[in-house]
Chain A
Amino acid sequence: MSEELVVRNLKKWFARSRGLFSREQEYVKAVDDISFEIEKGQVLCLAGESGCGKTTTGRLILRLVEPTEGSVSLRGVDIFTLKKEELREKRREMQMIFQDPYESLDPRMDVFSILAEPLEVNRIASGYGELRERVHKALEDVRLVPVEEFIRRFPHELSGGQRQRVAIARALMLEPTFIVADEPVSMLDASIRTEILNLLKELREKYDLTFLYITHDIAQARYVGDDLMVMYLGRVVEKGPMEDVILEPLHPYTKALISNVPVPDPEAQRERIPLTGETPTPIDLPEGCRFHPRCCEAGERCSQVEPGLVKVGNDRWVACHVQAATPTRANNI
């Protein structure tokens, strides 16, 4: 199988005490039983609104946070079963690009030190010569040239776009095969985003990388991704090839979400599906489908049984009783 990443029944529940003085526990079900795969060389975009669990999912996949349940297998190896040293070695295959270019670089380290760190802590380079060589190559890869000028700089001497390039270079230092990009351009100005997005595309081609690209901006996801997976309140509600999901969304939430994405064209006529209220927090979830209170297509079953993620077509998945049961869908497999 050419699966790079396989996630099975992943859960992360955060325990909290109910109120200030209570001893009762309640759970914030940030990630509540999700399963999916990413093929080698693919870019899967994970989209959803704030609080849907996408950021937590990204961190679980890199095991920056321990799961409540479930497994994450990178090329056949479940990273949650690894011990400290084994994990450290396995980590070299999977890296992360963080969202905030202002906070993901240590302000007291110069660019050289930041890029040398992955190699130094893993005792990889066989001396300064090799270290320097690899740092230089990384900077060239992200087009921060002339290299000599940038290695001595500190983060506060770089622009937002340049910092993010350093962050990308750092993610590539250990020569990983899989990268989790958590909203890598959302804090950059629009005119700079394109450069970074194009750079990511280029690097993906060059190094045959597999990406999990997390974003709340579906238009951006469309630009970078092959597949789209939408999350709501800790669960996956829909997954499929990007263009298919965008042009023909199945899940009512996806439909509403996509219809609400603004378009830079004042004359675009689009039918907007409004939703009442706001997305609740993942505590005290309703019975049955967690979207049903806001859903205009909800049926009786929806308030009783939680729908599972069901295959409804070629690589098309949806978690909805109504959609899964639609005859036309079933016939289109």
Chain B
Amino acid sequence: MPVLEVEGLVTHYLTKQGPVDAVSGVSFTVDAGQTFGLAGESGCGKTTIALSIMGLLPSNGRVMGGRIILDGEDLLGKDEKELREVRWRKVSIVFQGAMNALNPVINVGEQIAEVIIEKEGVRKDEAWNRVRELFDLVELEPDRVTDYPHEFSGGMRQRVMIAMALANYPKLVIADEPITALDVIVQNQILDLMKNLQGRLNLSQILITHDLSVIAETCDKVGIMYAGKLMEYGEAAPIFKTPLHPYTSALIGAYPSIVGEKRDLKFIPGAPPNLINPPTGCRFHPRCPHAQEICGQEEPEYREESLGHYTACHFVEELRDTLRLGGH
């Protein structure tokens, strides 16, 4: 049984100008011990998905439909009290920029212990023991549990955040842009750590990032988000090697590579759409170089094109070869 099953998730933000269709029918599963990469550019809805799962949407956010089944239980049917039981114990999150949001006047050990005590009601000394264990787990010196946030470097603070996310030994960790602010060498240290922990603790992860290179190197399954919808979903290797959606292909092509032949980079003209009034038909069609009339009229069906590989496009067959060869 998968750890997480999201089915047809729809989330809106209510604004003065009207409801923003931030997540519009997204489905994916995360199996035990797996890393699922949710990729997409800013505004595509990936953070909203994370907040919907955690039940931490801002006051104007509403889940309008779908199911979120974590470890067999539908989270959307729960009230705040029940959610608080689930939150941090079965699923936890490392927020974007969280490493800079640590309370500067409380030492880090205290901050993690707080989470443990609050969630499990254990005694203080037991909580502190676990904090030391967690530090060991994330490769920080256990002696440093009483240090303050400013005494750690960026990468180390991120390890602290990971420790905090693991404090109650959840089954699923959601990491929203966990390494964006860090240098490449430290990035890889953190990614290695998370991979390592995944193995040791049989942890599942959702890695949310805009950086496709990072996704390519760490994720088992990938979902490419655009304007609130999943454009493509499946195992990482086929998606990168034989992308079926023009957006995926263009996005991969927009990343310069340090290996291989130097090639021209792809670019996508225009900008992501306003989600109060999303485009008719396929949401990507205004910017798609292969768009035809039907793309603006009818929304393409989201289908399984090959084993475990899903996409929504009217011209999958016609574009298969073009996209594979890196054409645009």
Contact = CB atoms under 8 A, between A and B. Distances in A.
24 contacts: A161-B271, A189-B41, A190-B41, A190-B212, A191-B250, A192-B271, A195-B267, A198-B267, A223-B262, A257-B184, A262-B184, A262-B187, A262-B211, A262-B214, A262-B217, A263-B213, A263-B217, A263-B258, A264-B212, A264-B240, A264-B257, A267-B241, A268-B259, A279-B183
A189 to B, nearest CB: 4
A195 B155 CA distance: 32
Interface string A35-68: 0000000000000011000000000000000000
A264 B255 contact: yes
Given A219-B258, A257-B184, 19 more contacts: A189-B210, A190-B211, A191-B250, A191-B268, A192-B271, A193-B267, A194-B254, A197-B265, A219-B257, A222-B262, A260-B185, A263-B213, A264-B240, A265-B257, A265-B259, A267-B237, A270-B259, A274-B185, A274-B189
Contacts of B276: none
**A-B CB proximity, top 7 nearest:** A194-B267, A262-B213, A49-B183, A191-B268, A189-B41, A223-B256, A194-B265
Contacts of B241: 266-267
Interface of A: 49-50, 159, 161, 189-195, 197-198, 216, 218-220, 222-223, 243, 246, 256-258, 260-268, 270, 272, 274-275, 278-279
A190 B41 CA distance: 7
Contacts of A272: 188
A310 to B, nearest CB: 25
Interface in B180-199: 183-189, 192
Contacts of B108: none
Contacts of B160: none
Contacts of B266: 194
Nearest to B220: A266
Kindly name the residue among B187, B214, B267 whose own CB sees the greatest number of chain A CB atoms within 10 A.
B267
A121 to B, nearest CB: 32
B59 interface: no
B236 interface: yes
Interface of B: 41-42, 153-156, 183-189, 192, 210-214, 216-217, 219, 236-237, 240-241, 250-252, 254-259, 262, 265-269, 271
Contacts of B254: 190-191, 193-194
Given A49-B184, A263-B217, A266-B236, A258 B267 contact: no
A272 B258 CA distance: 13
Contacts of B211: 190, 262
Given A189-B42, A219-B257, A263 B188 contact: no
Contacts of A256: 185
Contacts of B156: 278
A127 B317 CA distance: 59
A216 B262 CA distance: 19
A245 B211 CA distance: 24
Contacts of A260: 184-185, 187-188
A246 B257 CA distance: 11
Contacts of B271: 159, 161, 192
Nearest to B39: A190
A191 B247 CA distance: 10
Contacts of B186: 278
A188 to B, nearest CB: 9
A161 B271 CA distance: 9
A109 B40 CA distance: 32
A316 B274 CA distance: 49
A218 B258 contact: yes
A263 B257 contact: yes
A73 B252 CA distance: 41
A49 B185 contact: yes
A260 B259 CA distance: 12
Kindly name the residue among B153, B237, B266 whose own CB sees the greatest number of chain A CB atoms within 10 A.
B153
A279 B186 CA distance: 9
A274 B188 contact: yes
Nearest to B268: A191
A220 B255 CA distance: 8
Contacts of B268: 191-192
A275 B192 CA distance: 12
A265 B238 CA distance: 10
A192 B236 CA distance: 23
A219 B252 CA distance: 13
Contacts of B259: 263, 265, 268, 270
B252 A222 contact: no
A157 to B, nearest CB: 13
A49 B186 CA distance: 10
Contacts of B41: 189-191
Contacts of B184: 49, 216, 257, 260-262
Contacts of B269: 195
Contacts of A261: 184, 213, 258
Contacts of A220: 256
A278 B213 contact: no
Nearest to A224: B256
Nearest to B271: A159
Contacts of A243: 262
A278 B189 CA distance: 10
B275 to A, nearest CB: 15
A174 B255 CA distance: 32
A262 B236 CA distance: 15
B148 to A, nearest CB: 14
A243 B92 CA distance: 43
Contacts of A266: 216-217, 219, 236-237, 240-241
Contacts of A193: 254, 265, 267
